[in-house]
Amino acid sequence: MTVNDPQRSRPTEPLWRAGQVFRLATLVYAVGYQAHAVSEYIRPTLSWVIVALMAVWSGVAAIVLSRDGAARRWWVVADVAVVVGAMAATRLVADQDWYSAHQSLPTTLWATNAVISAAILSGPLVGVLAGLGIAIVAVAVRGTVDVDLAGDATAPVLMSVGLAVGLAANTARRAQGQLERAARLAAATEERERLGREVHDGVLQVLAYVRRRGAEIGGPTLELSTLAGEQEVALRELISEQALPVAGGDVDVDLRTLLRSQAGTAVSVSTPGGAVTMPRDRAEELAAVVRTALSNVALHAGANAKAYVLLEDLGVDVIVSVRDDGVGMAADRLAAAEAEGRMGVSRSILGRVAALGGDATLDTAVGEGVEWEIRVGKRAPGKG
């Protein structure tokens, strides 16, 4: 996003408008200072011409910079150039004895406007650099360096203004971004709830009924029951995903939502009462592990097998248990499958868990079902 992007500049509009009010106030001070000091100039007429040009520029800049537009950056550059030019003109209207002991013709206060504009446009770093640059010009105009800050605080004042206003501008942009994300999340949550009510009242109830009755009747209707169950789970997942913010992998999401989306008539999901937050990429990968384990239950545990998912929050780590009451398998069956070249479980479950820096333990026996216990850290190793 560039500095000219309207989305970037919009939250700083109040700062731009306030800056232009300050600009006009400093012009009044500059004119008053001119009236006081003009008798000491060697070219008083020229000094009034320069002050008149400052007044014209102040009015034009106040109008242009108070409006949002792509050309604002170039007006800020011109603002800095006008300030530098007006300061340098001090040597044309006053002798060395005067300009070496006084502030420049446009006054330090009026020169601050260029620093404020640069800081609002591009942030604290540019604001500080603009303040430092104008302070250097002031030193060059006087031809002397005064290290006594009590007597000449031009540099620290200008740099402090650039820092403070730049930080305020960045804070306004961050606040606007957070507000927009919160609004999107609220809208997505509201839509999810509306969709959930409509789907639950109709489609999900029908699919659940077809799944249950098909399993009870058996025979050719068993396949219809299985398809209805798969669509029921898919719909539940779609509804749950509406609650998730669209964000990158570093944004935290509630793992409970991802796991609950996999619940169905044959799958029971139990989660803690409070949110279990993890970075989105890790949470989705862990949910994919659970989805694979549940797929194995549907394929191998038997037609009437039920699966149970339990999530435990241990603070730094989470434990997800996936257990079924199906036919089970021999304890060495997984190793035998790998030896035969069938790497589905190894890659989908063990490989994913290892990539997350966690551990997966398999407990099974013939006739006693299968239980996976998966333990992973909420954060990637080394990230706290």
> Which region, left, alpha or beta, applies to residue 319 given φ > 0 means left and ψ of -120 to 50 means alpha?
beta
| pLDDT tens for each residue of 230-270 | 676 666 656 555 544 444 445 788 999 889 888 877 889 99
Per-residue pLDDT at 314: 92
Q: Are 34 and 48 in contact (CB under 8 A)?
A: yes
Residues in the chain, overall count: 384
Q: At what angle do helices 72-88 and 44-65 cross, to 10 degrees?
A: 170
Q: What is the largest CA-CA distance in the chain?
A: 110
- Distances 319 to 133, 208, 270, 324, 384 between C-alpha atoms, Å: 57, 29, 12, 17, 18
Q: Tens-digit pLDDT profile for the chain (384 aa)?
A: 444 454 455 788 888 888 889 988 999 998 998 888 888 889 999 989 999 999 999 899 888 888 766 678 888 999 899 998 988 888 888 888 887 778 888 888 888 998 998 889 888 899 899 888 888 888 888 877 665 554 456 788 888 888 998 898 888 888 888 888 888 877 777 776 666 666 655 676 677 777 777 777 877 787 777 777 767 666 665 655 554 444 444 578 899 988 988 887 788 999 998 889 999 889 988 998 898 888 878 777 887 888 999 999 998 999 999 999 888 887 676 666 565 544 455 556 888 888 889 998 888 888 888 899 999 999 887 665
Q: Are 18 and 65 in contact (CB under 8 A)?
A: no
Beta-carbon neighbour count of residue 87 at 10 Å? 24
CA–CA dist 147, 74 (Å, integer)? 34
Per-residue pLDDT at 338: 60
Contacts of 42 (CB under 8 A, 6+ apart): 93, 94, 95
Per-residue pLDDT at 311: 94
Closest of 308, 324, 306 to residue 365, by C-alpha:
324
Closest of 153, 161, 64 to residue 114, by C-alpha:
161
Token pair belonging to 376: 């992973």
**What are the E-state strand segments in the chain?**
252-254, 267-270, 277-279, 307-313, 317-324, 359-364, 370-377
CB burial of residue 164 (10 Å; 0-12, 13-18, 19+): middle
Helix/strand/coil (H/E/C) assignment for every residue in 46-108:
HHHHHHHHHHHHHHHHHHHHCCCCCCHHHHHHHHHHHHHHHHHCHHHHCCHHHHCCCCCCCCH
CA–CA dist 363, 371 (Å, integer)? 5
Looking at the DSSP assignment, which residues form a beta bridge with residue 313? Answer: 318
Specify the amino acid at residue 202: G
Closest of 268, 362, 274 to residue 306, by C-alpha:
268
CA–CA dist 274, 76 (Å, integer)? 50
Looking at the DSSP assignment, which residues form a beta bridge with residue 371? Answer: 323, 363
The 8-class DSSP code of residue 58 comes to H
- Distances 192 to 230, 237, 257 between C-alpha atoms, Å: 20, 11, 12
Residue tagged 């044309």 (tokens): 92
Residue tagged 């509201």 (tokens): 190
For 308, the 3-state DSSP assignment is strand
Q: Are 109 and 26 in contact (CB under 8 A)?
A: yes
Q: Are 258 and 287 in contact (CB under 8 A)?
A: yes
